Amino acid sequence: MNTEDTNLLILLKDTWDSVAELMSSLSGEDWLLPTDCPGWTVKDCFAHLIGIEQRLLGHSVPSITLSNEDLTHTKNELGIENQIDVVLRRLTPTKELIEEYKFLTSERLDILDQSDSLTRKRKAPDGRTVNERELISIRILDCWVHEQDIRRAIGRPGNLSGSTATHVFSRLNKTLPFILGKKVKLKNGCTAQFVIQGDYAETISIGSCAGRAREIDDLNNPSVGLKMNCETYLLLCCGRMSSQEAVSADKVTITGDQNLGLSILNYMNFMP
């Protein structure tokens, strides 16, 4: 295994360990607090992470019929699978959930550590076929994003900087050309600049040329500028906050073309 892949596995372990440490520190009341994921408590978010790793390992999942209430917020087949994983664990004691999480993530790491490379093709939870390297990157994103969901729910912010945070924000940044080109349909010659501040800070400039949006050198006078802190950026990209909520709470400052800025905010959520 090359150095890049080895470092990616180290990052995955660090991400999983951070979640385990956080969950082990929670009080009984913390587990029942609602999160920004509709219908899910802190315990449900954690159960979801366990269920994904169980499925990726190929372990059997009991078949159950979800109630209409359980299906309220599901949008697709992936949502149904996620909800099954959550409902199956709703009556499980929290200590047992932590033990199951540690057991499954340890099993996953043992298998990955024995791999010669991370090029083998796998089916990702969202149905796409990707190589193992991309799947690990997705798991880092998903686990860290849900750790942040849990931290907001319990009022304990943290881990918004460092290697895992940088890895996730870098993935979010890569979605911007697609969002502006395919969804917003940025007109030729128009430019947009994102100024992200806080624990993670970055300036990202996107321009459209010949019908294609791409990252460009920093601009002095973009068509629209959007300034926000890194947590707001995360919430918008992951569908935890609507554009209306961000604007009304003064979480985003739009300069230049206001309508274009609002259109971009409306399309920033890339989560399935």
Exposure string over 103-133, b if 16+ CB within 10 A, otherwise e: ebbeebeeebeeeeebeeeeebbeeeeeebb
pLDDT at res. 220 = 84
User: Is the per-residue pLDDT at 272 higher than 70?
Assistant: no
Are the beta carbons of 176 and 210 closer than 8 angstroms? no
187: its two tokens? 């007109």
Task: Report, as an integer, the average pLDDT of 217-223.
Answer: 86
In the predicted model, what is the mean pLDDT of residues 4-14?
A: 96
Check pLDDT > 90 for residue 95.
Answer: yes
Query: 234-264 burial, b for 16+ CB within 10 Å, e for fewer?
Result: bbbbbebbebeebbeeebbebebbeebbbbb
Q: How far apart are CA 262 and CA 178, in angstroms?
A: 17
pLDDT at 21 over 80: yes
pLDDT tens digit sequence for 249-264: 999 999 999 999 999 9
Contact by Cβ (8 Å): 87, 40: no
**Per-residue pLDDT, 131:** 94
Residue 154 neighbours by CB distance under 10 Å: 18
pTM of the model: 0.94
Q: What integer pLDDT is reported at residue 219 of this predicted model?
A: 79
Domain ranges for the chain = 3-157, 169-266
3-157: CATH topology is Four Helix Bundle (Hemerythrin (Met), subunit A) (1.20.120)
Of 17-26, 136-145, 208-217, the one with minimum mean pLDDT is 208-217
- Rounded Cα distance between 162 and 74, Å, is 32
**DSSP letter for each residue of 201-257:** -EEEEEEEETTEEEEES--SS-SEEEEEEHHHHHHHHTTSS-HHHHHHTT-EEEEE-
| The predicted structure's pLDDT at residue 132 | 95
What pLDDT is recorded for position 167? 98
Contact call for residues 7 and 54 (beta carbons, < 8 A): no
State pLDDT tens for residues 138-175: 999 999 999 999 999 999 999 999 999 999 999 999 99
The alpha-carbon radius of gyration of the chain (Å, integer) is 20
**In this predicted model, what pLDDT tens digit does every residue of 111-127 receive, in sequence order?**
999 988 899 999 888 88
User: Per mean pLDDT, which range of 14-23, 215-224, 262-271 is the poorest?
Assistant: 215-224
β-partners of residue 121 are 131
| Residue among 91, 141, 17 at smallest CA distance from 130 | 141
CA–CA separation, 135 and 137 (whole Å): 5
Residue-level pLDDT at 209: 85
Average pLDDT value for residue range 193-211: 94
Res 126: pLDDT: 84
pLDDT for the residue numbered 193:
97
pLDDT in tens, 48-79: 999 999 999 999 999 899 999 988 998 888 99
Average pLDDT, the chain: 95
Q: Identify the CATH homologous superfamily for domain 169-266.
A: SCP2 sterol-binding domain (3.30.1050.10)
Tell me the pLDDT band of 270, cut-offs 50, 70 and 90.
Answer: confident
Region 210-218: mean pLDDT is 87
Once rounded to an integer, what is the mean pLDDT over residues 1-21?
A: 95
